[in-house]
Chains A and B, each alone.
Chain A
Amino acid sequence: MTSDDTTLDASAPWLEVDAVIDDPRTRIVVCCGSGGVGKTTTAAALGVRAAERGRKVVVLTIDPARRLAQSMGISELDNVPRRVKGVDEAAGGELHAMMLDMKRTFDEIVEGHADAERARAILENPFYQSLSAGFAGTQEYMAMEKLGQLRANDEWDLIVVDTPPSRSALDFLDAPKRLGSFLDGKFIRILMAPAKVGGRAGMKFLNVGMSMMTGTLSKLMGGQLLRDVQTFVAAMDTMFGGFRTRADATYRLLQAPGTAFLVVAAPERDALREAAYFVERLAAEQMPLAGLVLNRVHGSGAAQLSAERALAAAEALTETLVADGDPAADPEAGEAGDPSDGISPNSPSADPSSPVAENLEPGGIVDLDGGKNGSRTAGGLSPAATAEHAASPSASAAQLAAGLLRLHAERMQVLARERRTRDRFTALHPEVPVAEVAALPGDVHDLTGLRAIGDRLALRPGDAGT
């Protein structure tokens, strides 16, 4: 049993995930954060939990890991929400999931908003084909479009969105504005002008500066590409207004009270720095932040035993074994960091000058201190120990105990580090509610795993863990 209370800080308000997903007024949950923090898994776990608590949910994922997608039955990329099997629907809920197909979404918009002939001209345009296949920015626009569509359908009462793995986690917020500023700009009119009025005849409507500009563009891009771009822009002309309107509408939807943003992070320096940046940005955009989900937080059921004492005790046990001249003692000493298992040939013990060893220095210092304490303790206990010698534990048990203690010391150091990192975030943003998710030893790729994550997500701080 792992108790989480040691990792939680009473000063950070608790993010009550169930209250967020149970509230019928919550219609959209957006999971955002930097790469590799478990965003997609969090979105999927929230979807499963909300569905099993009675809501009709659709999860929109952008780029899920293959096995996670398979676990929800959306390995086919067909851009349509699919009902997820295996979800407990007893409470009246349903789970649907879909993976965003950028090109398909773009194509559908074109087909839906242009007459057949014009649509064909656009779809066949080489410039369009590259644009829609996912160059910088397209993914963000299309994610916003799809979110708008899903919301407009009104078929689901909760939409959980996972944000694209962007250069910056904020790109999807910028997408509508960037599109807007482009569509309003002069540049698009220059691009459109010649094609609209039929080649160079149109040039006389432009001033000399502008014609120089198109000349330059033609020189730069090559005449054929410029013509492709112009044809594309002209064909898209009637649709741009719609793009703009829908992007603005989706942006306002995100600001509305029915939306809850969850910033997802891991208790690591970089991830939390990004999270803090995100929190500030959401505030600046007046987006409703529900809280921070801190994934992969470690706990310990033996938190009363500090890293220092555990190391000291491990040291004392090893010393006793050596002193007893037990032949098993020496291998034990090596076992703690022994690289012979092939997992980490660079582990600190392999090379004392290695940087890994350097970086364990804080631990090493503790070890030394602990070692002294340990010998003192052992000295103090020695009469008793000697008296008990006949009943002393077997060498293998002592070895095992020392190993367990070293492992515990490592765990406690991880805990302390995570707490420091988290506290730094909380100090900067004390108002942001936090939900901590205890680390699982392995990866999650089935509904059972997602359910377990959901349970951990919803756990009240201080309640016993798993």
Chain B
Amino acid sequence: MSRLHVVSGKGGTGKTTVAAALALALATEGRRTLLVEVEGRQGIAQLFETEAFPYEERKIAVAPGGGEVHALAIDAERALLDYLQMFYKLGSAGRALKKLGAIDFATTIAPGLRDVLLTGKACEAVRRKDKSGAFVYDAVVMDAPPTGRVTRFLNVNDEVAGLAKIGPIHNQAQAVMRVLKSPETAVHLVTLLEEMPVQETADGIAELRAANIPVGGVVINMTRPALLDNGDLDIAARGARTGIAKALSQAGLGGARRGGHADRLIDPLLEQAREHAERVELERAEHAELTALGLPTYELGLLPEGVDLAGLYGLARDLRRQGPI
């Protein structure tokens, strides 16, 4: 069973929401999870309706059955200073480095260092144990960069390990890579039933596999019920028009005669139905494409009013119901 869950997806597919729901879902029955954000947008704080959190792990939610969700927004600069402090006791030298612009260089310009620090911090949390030797977190869920960048992001340590052939950065990068390529890790991709996100999901899976990073499941987000399909439209096309006008009229929507209130509703209503049926067909095709990927899939319904805290708990429940992720 994986302990590091990396959640990615195309922009706009709701990966932060899914990551948060997953952290809640994994935190049942007294378990404890850590939800980490690596892109500094404070999206998690917004979701949990708390103020932006500083660079520290703090409890942000209690899951049903007494579990706990903790959260951390990882900041590359702070992670670097922490790292320097931890391994080199560089308190004041760290500050001096910062003054010189070295920290800026390391976290924004030096190739990959920033990503090494972010993935490194997450892996550290995965491996952290308490005094009794038990893991501090039962699972760590990472709200990762979008699909287009996630493989490079996770694989950065391989690249850096190749670049820095010896020394502590090399060792750190190797250690992180061992976690990321082990069965302890699972990368989940969030998608919508639309062409571009589905395509990106398929491409992302291929890239992850090529980099030997374990892929977990596909989360199909914001699904909507199909209210009508082409079969219904066929009926409408076969001249049920008068019948529909009568039905609308009977339901109190005005006169059924030509030009009457009910009659005037029919064209726009049928147009909407055609658009809906077209979308349903597209969604079926995309769904089939996702199924063909051969990975476990999970589905989460659209929350039309946006995601609030109650909605988030609901999504977590839904994920749990669909089996272990």
Contact = CB atoms under 8 A, between A and B. Distances in A.
Interface centre among B41, B110, B252 (most CB of A within 10 A): B252
B210 interface: no
B10 A36 contact: yes
Interface residues of A, number: 114
Given A65-B199, A167-B145, A385-B250, 4 more contacts: A178-B108, A216-B90, A316-B251, A397-B242
Contacts of A37: 11-12
Given A2-B271, A224-B166, A36 B102 contact: no
B252 A313 contact: yes
Contacts of B148: 63, 165
B278 A441 contact: yes
B240 A136 contact: no
Nearest to B94: A216
Interface in A161-182: 165, 167-168, 178-179, 181-182
B101 A182 contact: yes
Contact of B253 (A305, A406, A441): A305
Interface in A49-88: 63, 65-67
B96 A168 contact: no
A317 B251 contact: yes
Contacts of A358: 310-311, 314
Given A181-B101, A354-B301, A404-B270, A347 B248 contact: no
A406 B227 contact: yes
A204 interface: no
A364 B168 CA distance: 59
Interface string B167-204: 11110000000000000000000000111110110010
Contact of A127 (B40, B163, B235, B252): B163
A211 B242 CA distance: 90
Interface stretch (A110-118, A144-152, A281-289, A336-344): A336-344
B112 A225 contact: no
Contact of B303 (A225, A355, A392): A355
Interface centre among B152, B227, B228, B282 (most CB of A within 10 A): B227
A187 B243 contact: no
Given A313-B248, A343-B280, A393-B243, A413 B304 contact: yes
Given A35-B12, A305-B253, A314-B251, A355 B301 contact: yes
A290 B93 CA distance: 47
A394 B243 contact: yes
Given A130-B163, A391-B246, A396-B240, A187 B251 contact: no
A12 interface: no
Interface in A207-254: 209, 212-213, 216-217, 219-225, 228-229
A300 B265 CA distance: 11
Contact size range, B = 35 or more
B227 A336 contact: yes
Given A66-B199, A356-B318, A358-B310, A185 B100 contact: yes
Interface centre among A268, A313, A380 (most CB of B within 10 A): A313
B224 interface: yes
Given A35-B10, A414-B304, A213 B195 contact: no
Contact of A213 (B102, B240, B252, B269): B102
A417 to B, nearest CB: 6
Given A35-B12, A222-B170, A313-B251, A404 B244 contact: yes
Contacts of B253: 305, 309, 313
Contacts of A417: 304-305
Interface in B268-321: 268-273, 275-276, 278-280, 282-284, 287, 299-306, 310-311, 313-315, 317-318
B221 to A, nearest CB: 11
A158 interface: no
A320 B272 contact: no
Given A228-B163, A413-B304, A442-B278, A344 B235 contact: no
A371 interface: no
A411 interface: yes
A2 B269 CA distance: 10
A179 B265 CA distance: 59
A407 interface: yes
Contacts of A268: 306
Contacts of A414: 304
Interface string B233-277: 001100010111011101111000000000001011111110110
A16 interface: no
A222 B169 contact: yes
A382 B11 CA distance: 52
Given A65-B196, A185-B101, A301-B267, A341 B229 contact: yes
A196 interface: no
A257 interface: no
A235 to B, nearest CB: 16
A414 B125 CA distance: 41
A443 B195 contact: yes
A325 to B, nearest CB: 17
B164 A225 contact: yes
Nearest to A215: B93
B112 A135 contact: yes
B19 to A, nearest CB: 14
Given A36-B10, A209-B96, A347-B225, A392 B250 contact: yes
B111 A131 contact: yes
A396 B242 CA distance: 12
Given A222-B165, A378-B252, A355 B315 contact: yes
Nearest to A398: B247
Interface in A125-139: 126-127, 130-131, 133-137
B44 to A, nearest CB: 13
A182 B162 CA distance: 25
Contacts of B275: 441
B232 interface: yes
Interface string B111-140: 110110000000000000000000000000
